[in-house]
Amino acid sequence: MKNKQLLLLSVLCLCMFVSVPANAQVPIPLGANHPELHWNQFETPHFVIIFPDGLDSTAEAAAPIAEEVYRVVTTNLQTPLPSKTKIYLSDNDELKNAFAATDDHIFVWMRGILDDLPYSLRASGTSKWLRSVLTHEFTHIVIAHATKDWTDIFLPTGGVPRWFNEGMARFMEPDGWTTDLDMVLRISTVYDGLELYSSDYLAGSLTYEAGQSLVRLIAVEFGDTALVKILQYRGALGIYSFTEAVAAVTHRSLGQLVEHWHERLLVYYATQYGQKEEVHDYGRDISHGLDIISAARRQPNGNMIAVVAKSSKDAPTGIYLFRTDTTEPDLLSDLVGLTPDLAWTGDGKHLIISRVRLGRHDDIVYDLFSLDIATKEMKRLTSDGRFEQPDVSHSGDTIVAIHAVGSGSDLVLLKANGDTIRSLTHFDDATTEVYWPRWSPDDKRIAFSLFSKSGKRDIAIVELATDKITLVTDDSINDRYPVWAPNGRSLVFVSHQNGIPNIYRIPFASGGTSAASGRSEIVPISDVATNIIAWDWPLDRDSILVTAFDSKNTVHLYWYSAFRTVSNSPKIELGPKYWSWRGVHWPLVTRTPDLIPYTKKTETTSYNSLMHIAPMFVLPFIGSDRDKVGNEGTQYGLIALAADPMAKHIFTALADFGGESKRFSYDLIYQNNQLGFGLMFERGNKLYFDGVIDDKSYYQLEDNLGLGLQFGFPASDNLEEAHLLFFTGVSRRLTPWNDGDFVNTDPLHRPKELLIREASIKYLYNSRALLTSFTFSHADKGFGSDLSYSLYRAYLNWSVPMTEDRSISFSLAGTLVARTGEEVPQEPLGFSPYDNFQGGYNLLSLQSSDRLRGIRRYLYGNKLVIGTAEIHEPDFLLQQIVPLLGAFRPHLVEFFDIGTVWYSDAPPNNPNVIITPLGKTEWLKSAGLELRTEAFGISIGGGVGWELVRGARADWFFRARGNL
């Protein structure tokens, strides 16, 4: 089994998870490589509910909600489904996500819709997450079915653009428009960034909420039936076209609708913005070059401020430290997996943070870590704890954190070393969520945000001595993020009571244990237009530490007066055409669980993944073809991929027919991912273009049988570090197809019919700075092979950032190859003058020969060395000229290549080669510029290079190669 075939299969498997789901955001194998899990299923009238052991009660609760969702969504969209939809429920990974895959299935993690997103955004109103997430994802399922046409046989596309898909799903949710969603549109409108797609920091939320606002505007002006007609439209040849559908139904082009939407929202949100203040007019900015700050805490009894931040919208998230509020920040850590949570220990020497890591069985979980600010060393405190949002008592000996349990959460107390003390809250409803705990100054109470089973969001306090919970607010307004006053007799918190998130101060009665008597005692201390969150109120200051949006791509840090009082601005009345879209709703809305009738279901049985294997796509392709006498033509073929939704089994099949060769070829690959390691089997018989030999295109027949094993050993505390081990065995019979073209070729490189039986082992290590691999392959006549040889290949790439945001980097790479024993004539070791796709093309035979960019000549040997130095920087020029390039995130690469190839000894089947000592080999050098994009382990690039000799000509090249 050739490496290039393994690489192609890996790419196809990854593409399945990235391209097929209607709104997938997490491209990981779902449930694969977890043999410890036992999955179950039962059926309802319209669904198959699939879940692992331990989620029985959640699955039972999901069944009637799913049936209610089916009634609402299919009725509203007038689109019943012909078959049952599969719903997968999982608590295996702590992922705050869910997705729908075409019109086939839904996958939901128990953290399905995160209630408490940064900057007081949320994904649902008063409804609990299961009702919202199933409504949202099933809307995607129905849209995919409604827009399906015959072209979906080849590649399911979903039919509609993502903004419309997400906008429809958000519009279908039971809560309607909520005030927190306005923030995204208000900021984007004022800062000229109101787009359906954007690259701004708020782009993710903007796609959902901008899409929802435009969908709502269509419903107001043309009726919700217009949305149904857009989905049911069919154009020429029965093919669905969204732009044609919009024009046919609304009698306006999509561009005109978007322009109309811009005008309506600009008036509405600009008016809101103009009534309010801006934080920088009343607070002191202490951001010092950090564009986006998502969390901030001041050192107890000190002046240092720690923040979770990004230096720019495209930079990685890091933990930074301000030594004082007037100094530039120091970077403490930018490891992947940091969350916007941090707290100081009582001595001010460590930070307690929450990070995403791989736990037992490689589950994705949140755990607590201690970061030493002096040494920058990070120590893990918990293992598979599922803890987030820590806060440390002022005495420093106790941590409180959020512990996720299914779809709810509780407050848990831990020792400073991470050992669990006890659960502090014990809610009788599994859907109750808590977040943002804060110790009182006397360490006797903890304030927190509470999302109760009734759907209300309020501020609460729990007494450590009694576990008694007291509500500070109890009004169903969106209240959250409490921060204690230094004297412990009041709190500041964020509330939406006037429709825009602002900070309020609430006092306590004598003793500080009971809530204020009424909302009249709550004092507003900010009246900003964008968003503001309080983080700390230090003992020695009369100011609070806050973050606030300054623009669509900047969230800055301020000192803001804790005792300022404001009067909320009176609302300016606008005509209904500017705001009526916010109140529109579908005829049917999903009822609350207590009003949903009982749902009949079948008996629970074991889930069999083999029974759920289905085609994912069937794609046509073309390749180069040639007959025996040299006539060139085209191969016509199909490649198909089938899998079960959890990717436990993946089948790839390729078949083609040559128009000139009159040959039928096939290749079948099966991959099993349910054993704790990857198992791959391949069987094929194919004719394909395999490269250029002696300036002639070479085609060969290959009959192959292969078996591969893959083992992964990721680092538990570093998501960017992993070890991979591959074992492969393959038998290949190579038969030259157009051997008549090589009659006059040097016998050494004249293709021959060969049976090669080869075993190989490959080790790969990957981290942020280093990618290295070593491959050893051996063929032996003792295996029945016609040749005996060993091939060693080592690769190393070391990369270091040259800027803090990692947008510019410098890398050094090296390749060393050595072959001992006999040579394979049609697979020579050395430099080739040909790029990929030169001389021919075949889907499974991309040329993998070595080449120096800028040099076109043959050099052969049994030892090869290549060294490369590169500078990588963003491309800002060509993306402006060709905007489509931006989707592939290309970057410019200035390179210097150096390499040599030589014979250090004579192969047994080529005894007459010239033996050259390493010190006397010819070292070739080149330099140039390349535009490159990288994805799924493949690098594709093109550019120009020059050999570093006098009179060298420009060499334009294009190549695709595997980075692994």
DSSP 8-state secondary structure symbol assigned to residue 782: G
Between the CA of residue 841 and those of 485, 624, 831, what are the distances in Å?
70, 5, 19
Percentage of the chain exceeding pLDDT 70: 91
Q: How confident is the model at residue 850 (pLDDT cuts 50, 70, 90)?
A: confident
Task: Please give the pLDDT value at position 284.
Answer: 94
**pLDDT higher than threshold 80 for residue 312:** yes
Cα separation, 612 vs 603, whole angstroms: 18
Name the band, by pLDDT with cuts 50, 70 and 90, for residue 4: very low
Residue 601 · residue 51 · CB < 8 Å: no
- E-state strands within 802-890: 809-821, 830-831, 859-860, 863-874
- Res 9: pLDDT: 41
Q: Which of 627, 615, 554, 640 is CA-nearest to residue 312? A: 554
Would the pLDDT of 29 be above 80? no
The three-state secondary structure class of 209 is: helix
Q: Has residue 881 got a pLDDT over 90?
A: no
**Nearest 5°: phi and psi at 214?**
-70, -40
- How far apart are the C-alpha atoms of 122 and 137, rounded to whole Å? 17
Whether 25 shows a pLDDT value over 80: the answer reads: no
* Mean per-residue pLDDT, 714-723: 87
**In the 8-state DSSP scheme, what is residue 147?**
T
741: DSSP letter: G
The residue behind tokens 């301020």 is: 558
> Quick check: 236 pLDDT over 90?
no
pLDDT digits (tens, 9 = 90+) for 639-650: 999 999 988 999
SS3 labels along 280-349: HHCCEECCCCCCEEEEEEECCCCCCEEEEEECCCCCCCEEEEECCCCCCCEEEECCCCEEEEEEECCCCC
132-141, 298-307, 750-759, 871-880: least confidently modelled range = 871-880
Look at 117-121, 229-233, 285-289 and tell me which has the smallest mean pLDDT.
117-121
Asked if residue 633 has pLDDT above 90, the reply is: yes
Report the Cα–Cα distance between both ends of the chain, in Å, rounded: 16
Q: What is the pLDDT of residue 761?
A: 97
Determine the pLDDT at residue 7.
36
Helix (H) or strand (E) holding 893: strand 891-902
pLDDT in tens, 529-567: 888 999 999 988 899 999 999 888 999 999 999 999 898
pLDDT at 508 over 80: no
Token duo for residue 595:
């009003």
pLDDT at residue 730 greater than cutoff 50: yes
Q: Rounded mean pLDDT of 427-434? A: 84
What's the rounded Cα separation, in Å, for the pair 288 and 329? Answer: 7
Q: What is the pLDDT of residue 299?
A: 94
pLDDT at 504 over 50: yes
Residue 257 has pLDDT above 60, yes or no: yes
Q: Cα separation of 785 and 741, whole Å?
A: 26
Q: What is the pLDDT of residue 117?
A: 65
In this prediction the pTM is 0.91
491 three-state secondary structure = strand
Structure confidence at residue 844 (pLDDT)? 63
With a pLDDT cut of 90, the percent of the chain lying above it is: 59
